[in-house]
Structure 1
Amino acid sequence: MKIQIYTMQTVSEAIAAAEAGVDYLGLTPANRGLPGEISFATAREIADALKGKASRVALSVESDLAAIADMVAAVRPDVLHLCGDITLVTPDHVRQLRETLLPLYPGLGILQAIPMTGPEALDHAAAFEPYCDSFILDSVAAHIGGIGAAGVTHDWSLSRAIVERSRLPVILAGGLGPDNVAAAIAAVKPWAVDSLTHTNKPLPEGGFRKDIDRIKAFVTAARAA
C-alpha cells in the first residue's frame, strides 16, 4: 500500500514525514488561500531536499495551462496533481498539458483528481483516463478551492467502482486518518491512500503543521491493512 501525505510546508517536516515511511509527499505551491499553501520558492526548496527520499507531488487548482506549466517549471515535482475545476481543465486540456510538459520533464506523472460528488464521478474518471497516469478520488468542500482538503469522507462504494473499472493506479483521499484508513482500504482496495486534514496539528494562531505521530500511526494502520 502506497501512502501520500499533504501538505508539507517546511523542509524539516517533509524530511520527518519521509522518514516515517511516506512514499509521496504533497506540496501546495499557490497564492490562493489554500490550506497549507507555500511559495514556489519554498516548494522548490522542499522538493530539492526530498530528492531520493520520497516522490514529490505538487498540486495546482489553476485553470490557465500556462500557469500550471510555470508552477511545474519552478517546483520540478515528480508528479503534477491537477485538482482544479474539471469543467475548466478538461480531459483535452490535460492532453495538451501532457504534450507540452512531458518532452520538457521526462518521467513527470500526471495525477488527476476526480470529485466524488456522486455517480457522475465514474464518467469523469473514464473521460480523463486516457490522458493521466493515476487518479486521486477526493471529497469536495464548497469553501475550499479545487478538489480536496475537505476533511470528510465520501461514498466509498463509488470509489470502489472506479478502482474496479480503471486501468490506472487509484489513490483514495477524503477524510482519511489513522482511525479509518484500514476500513477505507478494505472497502475500496485502492493502490494508495492520502491524508491531509486528519494528520494535521492545528496551530493556536491558525493554520497547521503536520503531526508526525499521526502520520506514523496512519502509515502503520495503512500498511497493516
Structure 2
Amino acid sequence: MRTRLKVCCIVSVAEARLAIAHGADAVGLVSAMPSGPGIIPDETCAAIARAAPPPVASVLLTSRTEASGVAEQAERIRPSAVQLVDGAASPEAHEALRRLGIHAIQVVHVEDETALPLAQEAARTASAVLLDSGRPSEGVLGGTGERHDWNISREIIAALEIPVFLAGGLTPANAPEAIQRVRPFALDVCSGVRTAGALDPTKLDAFARAMASA
C-alpha cells in the first residue's frame, strides 16, 4: 500500500495548491494553538478547505477539547477531517464529528511507552490516529520539528486496525526510513518542506521523490 503524504501548516490557498501539485494527499490547517507554527484564522482555514479539490483531504487542527466547541468550529470550516491535538482521547468529540460526516484524527504524543495505551483508547472511537513528537507534559502540542522514538510508533501501528499517521522531524533524508521501519498510513510533514517559514517547492519535490523511493 502506498504511504500517503499530508503537508501541514498550510497558510494560504496558494500554498495548498503548491503542496497538492507536489503530491500531497491532504493539507493541514492549523487553527488557534498554544504552541507550534503555521497558525491561521478560522476564515483562512475555511477558504483553504473549500479550495481543496477531491480527493485531497483538508484537515483542521484544533486545540479545542469540548465536543460542542469542536463541532461548532468544524461546522463553520467544513474540513474533511479534524485533528484533535489534545493528548487524551475524546470519544465525545469523535462522535460529534461523526454526526457531521467529518472524520476524527486523534493525536497521540509519543513521549514514552505510555503512548501505546493512549493510542489504543483513541482507536476505539477515532477514524485515525496521528503519532507526533509533542510534549503535553510541558504544554507543547506538536510542531516541534523533532523526531520521537519510531520503535514505539511501530509497536502502536502494529497494534491498531485504523490508519495511523506519523509526524515529527520528518525530512526528505529520513522519509524512506520512516516508511520502511514504521509502515504508517501517511507521513505528516511541516518544517521538513519549508525554508524560512515558506513552503519550499524544491524540498516538496525531494520529499515526494524520497517517499517514492522507499
Alpha-carbon separation, structure 2, partners of 1:219 and 1:128? 29
% identity of equivalent residues: 28
Deviation at 1:53, TM superposition (A): 5.5
1:149-187: CA deviation from partner (whole Å, max 9, x where unpaired): 110111111011011111011111110011111111111
Give the RMSD, CA atoms, in angstroms. Answer: 1.9
Q: Is the alpha carbon distance of 1:62 and 1:145 closer, same or farther for their aligned partners in structure 2, counting shifts above 3 Å?
A: farther
Deviation at 1:21, TM superposition (A): 0.7
Deviation at 1:136, TM superposition (A): 0.8
Does the 8 A contact of 2:109 with 2:135 survive in 1? no
Q: 1:152 aligns with which of 146, 154, 162?
A: 146
* Residue 97 of structure 1: aligned partner: 93
SS at match of 1:15: helix
1:53-99: CA deviation from partner (whole Å, max 9, x where unpaired): 6110011112333322222012111011011242xxxx3xx221233
Q: 1:212 aligns with which of 197, 201, 209?
A: 201
Deviation at 1:145, TM superposition (A): 5.0
SS at match of 1:17: helix
* Residue 10 of structure 1: aligned partner: 12
* Residue 42 of structure 2: aligned partner: 40
Deviation at 1:133, TM superposition (A): 1.0
1:31-70: CA deviation from partner (whole Å, max 9, x where unpaired): 6564111111111111111132611001111233332222
Q: Which runs of 5+ in 2 are unaligned?
A: none
Normalising by structure 1, what TM-score?
A: 0.88
Q: Is the alpha carbon distance of 1:144 and 1:57 closer, same or farther for their aligned partners in structure 2, counting shifts above 3 Å?
A: farther
Q: Is the alpha carbon distance of 1:47 and 1:141 closer, same or farther for their aligned partners in structure 2, counting shifts above 3 Å?
A: same
Normalising by structure 2, what TM-score?
A: 0.92
* Residue 65 of structure 1: aligned partner: 67
